[in-house]
Amino acid sequence: MSISIIETEVSNLLDSLEHAAAAAGRHDMSDRLDSARKRFFDSTVRVLVVGQPGADASSTSDFLRAELGDLQLTEVPGLSARHPSNAGEALSLVTVSDAVLFVTDASQEFTAPELDFVRQIHALCPFVVCVLTKIDSYSQWKDIQGANRAHLTEAGLGLPILPVSTALKSASDDFDDDELRIESGFPQLIEFLSGTVVQQQDVLARIAFSNDIGSIADHLSLALRTEREALIDPANGAATVAQLERARAEADALRQRSSSWQYTLTDGAVELMTDIEHDLRDRLRAVVRDAEADIAASDPAPRWADFESFVDQKVATAVRENFVMAHTRSVELARAVALRFADDGDITLPSIHIDDVSDVLAPVTALDALESGKAGIVQRVISATRGSYGGILMVGLATSLMGMALVNPFSIGAGVLLGANTFREDRKARTARRQAEARVAVSKLMDDVVFQVNKESKHRLRHVQRTLRATSRRLRRIF
């Protein structure tokens, strides 16, 4: 049977069900049928390409777009120390994607922040493929691939890593060389996307559509079947009434169980807000500990710009992980509320997307500037003179009792020693003062982060609560 015939029959089936829903006055079923129709006829597979800096993600996307026209490819920049907000923008698109390609080059193995980023992506989208580019430029790419696979396995992520080369792919197209094309790795990547991601998404979409249609048909057929049986066999009215009584009893039991959805939602929302706030504070406390350890290692003033970038990246990672956790827990809460209406939880859940952190840290002020800590020549001379003067005077007076001049080799040597010691102590004191100022700056930054992020997090979680409450009231009317 051709695809056009199947689509025609499905369209006719949906039209028949819509007429039945209108005749039965079930406008809620009409809404569900509209959603099912859109789900069935929208066969677009959305693939997000997350490219690390310098990983040649744009060329990779162009080649895939030319070979796989049925895929909707969206390219976004990945994790970057210079632009921490890029990762938040990427995560906001992960939840609405069917698959994610994480593109990195073969120059080095996964770093710890990159591995955390992949873990966050996988928590939001189960279909993640790692693409290793520029294998033509790095002869050790197989070692990098093996190291990356080991890192993923250790992190509990069984993700495929497919090596490709855009340069070899371009050359194979220019010279029409099949061997070079296979060596580029693109045929393997295209086959994987076509045979795994596309087909799997198609199967899942068809299963969801079938479940929706079956549920809608069961709802609509109950009243029509009862009326038909009563018209065909009036003498069987008693059995029909008994059947209706049993159905009413089951509905009452379901209604009684579903009446507790408010408690489930309220308690779950309060617990969710508490856990998310605690998780944020715990992650930021870890950032503070790392920052203070870095400050204590040496004078922070000469490397303040690098330290600020280090702290910003740590904070951005902590906030992203916190919002990913909030998204995951919100979906779990939605499922828990749905179970109050159906034993198997087979209910279309509302769309929840609260993991976008692209603008969350925008109101946060930057770290306070730190003085350079570089003492001027005059200040150094004064400090050294202050220490050496006392040494010369004390030793000179002591040696003058022995008939020596006030300024003599012994008093000069003592002055040099005490002057050098005073200079070192002054430098240590200045370093300690700058370290204390750096700790205060980090503390102020964390207070600002907690204030701004907590405000945004609670706002989004309250939005989730309102969305679930509205959905639950609609389900209450249905059930």
pLDDT, tens digit, for every residue of 335-363?
A: 888 777 665 445 666 677 776 777 788 88
At residue 430, does pLDDT exceed 90? Answer: no
Residue 85 token pair: 């907000």
Q: Where are the alpha helices (DSSP H) in 233-303?
A: 237-258, 261-297
Match 């906001």 to its residue by tokens.
92
- Full domain range(s) for residue 293: 258-349+415-478
Q: Is residue 110 part of a domain?
A: yes
- DSSP, collapsed to helix, strand or coil, labels residue 105 as strand
CA 335 to mean position of chain CA atoms: 21
- Helices then strands (H, E): number in the chain? 15, 5
CA distance 176 to 70: 24
Q: Exposed/middle/buried for 211, CB within 10 Å: 0-12, 13-18, 19+? A: middle
CA distance 372 to 153: 45
Shared-domain flag, residues 81 and 159:
yes
Highest-pLDDT range among 63-67, 126-130, 145-149: 145-149
Are 349 and 334 in contact by the 8 Å Cβ rule? The answer is yes
**Total count of domains within the chain:** 2
Match 């006055």 to its residue by tokens.
25
At residue 132, does pLDDT exceed 90? Answer: yes
Note the pLDDT of residue 334. Answer: 86
Shared-domain flag, residues 151 and 78:
yes
Q: Is residue 138 part of a domain?
A: yes
Note the pLDDT of residue 57. Answer: 86
CATH number at residue 121: 3.40.50.300
Shared-domain flag, residues 269 and 173:
no
Shared-domain flag, residues 316 and 187:
no
At residue 447, does pLDDT exceed 50? Answer: yes
Length of the chain: 479
Q: Is residue 409 part of a domain?
A: no
Note the pLDDT of residue 344. Answer: 46
pLDDT, tens digit, for every residue of 20-47?
A: 777 767 776 777 777 777 767 666 778 8
Shared-domain flag, residues 174 and 102:
yes
At residue 108, does pLDDT exceed 60? Answer: yes
Shared-domain flag, residues 193 and 287:
no
Which of 87, 137, 133 minimizes the C-alpha distance to 318?
87
Last residue of a domain, one of 172, 201, 230: 201
The chain-wide mean pLDDT, for the chain, equals 79
Shared-domain flag, residues 197 and 267:
no
Note the pLDDT of residue 288. Answer: 93
Pairwise pLDDT comparison (265 vs 303), residue with the higher score:
303
Are 75 and 58 in contact by the 8 Å Cβ rule? The answer is yes
Pairwise pLDDT comparison (215 vs 173), residue with the higher score:
173
What is the percent of the chain where pLDDT is above 70? 70
Q: Is residue 422 part of a domain?
A: yes
Q: Is residue 376 part of a domain?
A: no
Shared-domain flag, residues 194 and 268:
no
CA distance 292 to 310: 12
Section 451-461 average pLDDT: 88
pLDDT, tens digit, for every residue of 263-292?
A: 677 778 888 888 898 999 999 999 999 999
Shared-domain flag, residues 327 and 474:
yes
At residue 101, does pLDDT exceed 90? Answer: yes
Shared-domain flag, residues 189 and 285:
no
pLDDT, tens digit, for every residue of 39-98?
A: 676 667 788 899 888 888 888 988 888 888 777 888 888 877 666 666 777 887 887 777
Highest-pLDDT range among 84-98, 128-142, 391-405, 424-438: 128-142
Shared-domain flag, residues 115 and 263:
no
Q: Exposed/middle/buried for 169, CB within 10 Å: 0-12, 13-18, 19+? A: buried
Shared-domain flag, residues 197 and 344:
no
Last residue of a domain, one of 175, 201, 227: 201
Are 193 and 99 in contact by the 8 Å Cβ rule? The answer is yes
Q: Exposed/middle/buried for 101, CB within 10 Å: 0-12, 13-18, 19+? A: buried
Q: Please, which residues bridge with residue 232 across strands? A: none
Q: Is residue 2 part of a domain?
A: no
Note the pLDDT of residue 103. Answer: 93
Last residue of a domain, one of 158, 177, 201: 201
Note the pTM of the prediction, 2 decimals. 0.62
Q: Is residue 98 part of a domain?
A: yes
Q: Is residue 264 part of a domain?
A: yes
